[in-house]
Amino acid sequence: MEDAARRRFLGVVAGAGVVAAAGGAAAYIASSRDAGAYDAAVEATWRHSDSFDLPAPDARKDLVRYATLAANSHNTQPWQFRLPDRAILVLPDLTRRLASVDPDNHHLFASLGCATENLVQAAAAFGLRANATFDAAAGGIRVDLEQAPAAHSPLFDAIPRRQSTRGVFDGRAVPAEHLRLLEAAGSGDGVTLRLFTERKSVEDILGFLVAGNSAQMDDAAFVAELKSWLRFNYAEAIATDDGLFSKCTGAPTLPSWLGRLIFSLVVTKDDENKTYAAQLRSSAGVAVFISDTNEPASWSAAGRCCQRFALQATALGIRHCFINQPVEVPAVRGQFAAFLGVGDRRPDLVMRFGYGPELPRSLRRPVDQVLHAA
Ligand SMILES: Cc1cc2nc3c(=O)[nH]c(=O)nc-3n(C[C@H](O)[C@H](O)[C@H](O)COP(=O)(O)O)c2cc1C
């Protein structure tokens, strides 16, 4: 949130605070109890396994837990998992699709790719070799598992530390040898990664970001969908274990009714665009992932690449944050593809990266809620 908006936001919050003061003490106690419960949930979620020497069914269940720690659009966690013999199926949960921002399920399949990448990285730690393929008949990704020597890679180690950090970074450049590692991690399997670190290119990309965000903020269906996934306080976030919690963007917590009211009153297109400009200009660069073909298998391949990029960045102490507005609005995406010079290929995903402090972590639903009978 941009400064002027934040001041207005805090002003409205303060005004509402006076009204709410009568019930303040009880609310304070409830809120600190909820904050404690949230911290406990974060600790239980973002952790490595206690043991990597588990019977096969337990190992596969824990691999699913690692998969759920992946990035995913609006934190809807649009996945379900099945455990056939010696394999794991990563399938869409279409009840959690985002009809407005993601009408063709591109981000949904990219999110499945992110989950698959975590699973593949984690399998090695459990002494399993994972071979992931898109299974059109199953409508998702099949990960076949076979015994292999156990190994902990730096990318695996980074899984519980990765987060999408929606803050201002400190403007420092990433050294060339780390850019090379990011480039290697974030490409492959028909996916090209383009890194932009020149100021002029970053400013050009900002133009597409602003155009995409402006179109989205003018779209009532987009805003309504976004609002339905926002969580304004600890109790809301814990009740669902999903969605976009205000604390994770550095915003304050609020009673649900007030948060929804203030979101409608305070969050304007111009303020949002200024916030994005400050965040992008504070970043070391931008990563754009472009797949060869425009179909679910390629969208999930792009997801795998961006999750690998995110894990490699985390391993190097570099933060990342998606800025997908340039690829979410079809008209803007076409112009962005022309800017990139990629012809008919579809730019899939966009991230900024750089250095900055961690923000509060998001939650995930427990494994039992996403695991279905084989
Ligand atoms: C396909 C995809 C698209 C996303 N788009 C955006 C985006 O445009 N802006 C943003 O701030 N985060 C975006 N995210 C990040 C998710 O909101 C984030 O992964 C989720 O809230 C969980 O938080 P975590 O990554 O910190 O675990 C995207 C993630 C995925 C996988």
Q: Which residues contact 326 (CB under 8 A, 6 or more apart)?
A: 205, 208, 209, 211, 212, 332, 333, 336, 347, 350
Q: Hey, whose CA ends up nearest to atom 17 of ligand 1?
A: 74
Residue reference for tokens 């391993």: 315
What is the model's pLDDT at position 27?
59
Contact at 8 Å (CB) between 321 and 159? no
At residue 141, the pLDDT reads: 98
Q: Output the pLDDT for position 150.
A: 96
Sequence ranges of the domains in the chain: 1-49+162-374, 56-161
Instruction: Please return the burial class of 157, using the count of CB atoms within 10 Å of its CB with bins 0-12, 13-18 and 19+.
Output: middle
User: Any idea what the Cα angle at residue 195 is, between residues 193 and 197, rounded to 5°?
Assistant: 175
Q: What is the second-level CATH architecture of the domain 1-49+162-374?
A: 3-Layer(aba) Sandwich (3.40)
**Given the CA of residue 249, which atom of ligand 1 is nearest to it?**
11
User: What are the tokens at 152?
Assistant: 């902990």
Q: Ligand 1: distance of its center to the CA of 73 in Å?
A: 5
The burial of 341, by beta-carbon neighbours within 10 Å (0-12 exposed, 13-18 middle, 19 or more buried), is given as: exposed
Closest protein CA for atom 13 of ligand 1: 322
Encoded tokens for 46: 């973002």
How many whole angstroms from 25 Cα to the centroid of ligand 1? 35
In this predicted structure, what is the pLDDT of residue 32? 83
Q: What is the pLDDT of residues 306-343, one digit of tens each?
A: 999 999 999 999 999 999 999 999 999 999 999 999 99
Q: What is the distance between the alpha carbons of residues 144 and 89, in angstroms, rounded to a whole number?
A: 9
Cβ neighbors of 44 (< 8 A, separation 6 or more) are none
* Distance (Å) from CA 141 to ligand 1 centroid: 20
Scored b (16 or more CB within 10 A) or e, 250-278 reads: ebebbbeebbeebbeebbeeebbbbbbee
Quick check: 83 and 55 in contact, CB under 8 A? no
- pLDDT in the model for residue 265: 85
> Which atom of ligand 1 has the smallest separation from the CA of 328?
8
Radius of gyration of the chain (CA): 21
Helix locations, 148-285, DSSP H: 154-157, 176-185, 199-217, 220-228, 234-240, 256-266, 269-281
Structure tokens at 290: 């472009």
Tokens describing residue 12: 């409205």
Closest CA to 101 of 273, 335, 329, 294: 329
Dist. CA 342 → ligand 1 center (Å) = 24
Residue 26 pLDDT: 55
140-147 and 128-135 strand pairing:
antiparallel
pLDDT score, position 6 = 43
Q: What is the pLDDT along the chain (374 residues), one digit of tens a residue?
A: 434 444 444 444 444 444 444 445 555 667 888 999 999 999 999 999 999 999 999 999 999 999 999 999 999 999 999 999 999 999 999 999 999 999 999 999 999 999 999 999 999 999 999 999 999 999 999 999 999 999 999 999 999 999 999 999 999 999 999 999 999 999 999 999 999 999 999 999 999 999 999 999 999 999 999 999 999 999 999 999 999 999 999 999 999 999 999 888 888 999 999 999 999 999 999 999 999 999 999 999 999 999 999 999 999 999 999 999 999 999 999 999 999 999 999 999 999 999 999 999 999 999 999 999 76
- Within 8 A by CB and 6+ apart from 249, the residues are 1, 166, 167, 359
Answer whether 306's CB lies under 8 Å from 192's CB: no
Question: 56-161 maps to which CATH number?
Answer: 3.40.109.10
Give how far the C-alpha of residue 18 lies from the chain's centroid of Cα atoms, to the nearest Å: 36
The answer to whether the 1-49+162-374 and 56-161 domains have the same CATH topology is yes
Burial 177-198 (b: 16+ CB within 10 A, else e): ebbebbeebbbeeebbbbbbbe
3-state secondary structure of 117: helix
Task: Return the pLDDT at 13.
Answer: 44
